[in-house]
Amino acid sequence: MVLESALNCNTTTNFTSNSSSCPQSISPPSGPMIDPYLEFYKFVFGSAIYIIIISFTTLVANGLLLVVFFFDPLKIFRNTTTYFLVGLAFVDILTAAIQEPMFATCFLMMYLGHPDTGAICSPLFEVGQYISLFAMNASFLIVLAFTVTQYIVVMSPLKYARSVTKTRVVICVAAIYSYAILFSLSPLMGVPKEIQQKIDNICHSIAMIYLTILFFILLYVAFKKKMAASKILREDGNTQDGGRNNRQTGVERKFIIVNFLLIAILFLTSQPSAMLWIVRLYSVDSPTSPKVLIVHLMVDNVLYLKFLLDPFVYAWRIPKYRQALKIVLRCGRREPEAKSTFSDRVMARMSASRDTVITLDFRSITPD
């Protein structure tokens, strides 16, 4: 994070150890000195408020997801693949509970011109970089593993049952954590930071993201083939089931929308950072210029959305999850049957459908 370099150029706190590479204050012929970082400080303050809101919301959303998983009032969320989501939730909480508050605090100190900003925030920014690198890589790897698992489910449910077990998923998540930690700490082991940055951007931020998108596309193609085969079997059996055909069409439409949403979020939150790195390779602008620092600030803010949106994309949108959450918040008391609305019953039936593919309960997927 190049924002750390702004501490060395903060003229209001006298941290000018690298002043030769920093924009100098401008003194008009008849006026006061103008701080070139004045506009940057405004963005820093706005980012601090934004990060505080994002951090709190991320903690609440992911915390409730874990509460529902561990209490599991409907006894449906302890299937194999939900351990991917639990691993993702822990990464999101780590970022929202540690890194984001640290950065927000330093941004406020920088904006207010606190005299100890450099002494306090330089080590915090360094620690935050390690956490950020671990969190992003672990998050991207878990999403990739989760997507590959979905593809296996659709292609061969029987193979899924044999090869994807709870123990293997837990080991996979632990291996992802281990790799992400070792990679983030590689500069402490002697790896040049420039080499780490190049590997991170090329392999993780670009190659891994596009590989995940490729599996999303393969998943969509496999799903369409399964739905088409199911429809042909019903037609060959001379079954006149208009309601089932309509439900299949609805499932296909929902599948397309959800996968497009997943791809869009993954691409829009990860690629600005990757593209900025490529632009920086050919840019002649100083990395400590206010314009460059503002762009980096905005890109980092976009990355935080990934951690916020994860629980909503993978859990909150599912009716069964919301139903389980209501039960947990009522301390285990279920809603009386008489009070359930027609829409609630319809949603419950649809979520229990064997044709529902993108849900937490992947074991419900069986070929017709």
**Can you give the pTM of this predicted structure?**
0.78
Q: Would you say 122 and 4 are in contact if contact means Cβ atoms under 8 Å apart?
A: yes
- What pLDDT is stored for residue 9 in this prediction? 58
- Provide the pLDDT for residue 27: 46
E strand or H helix at 194: helix 193-199
Nearest to 144 by CA among 205, 201, 202, 100: 205
pLDDT at 88: 92
Q: Which of 174, 183, 192, 200 minimizes the C-alpha distance to 303?
A: 200
Rounded to an integer, what is the distance from CA 109 to the centroid of its chain?
27
* Pair 110, 6: CB distance under 8 Å: yes
Low-confidence spans in the chain with pLDDT less than 70: 1-36, 161, 234-253, 332-368
Judged on CB neighbours under 10 Å (0-12, 13-18, 19+), 99 is buried
Distance CA 276, CA 296 (A): 8
| Distance (Å, whole) CA 164 – CA 162 | 6
pLDDT for position 61: 92
Q: Which two tokens stand for residue 324?
A: 């389980």
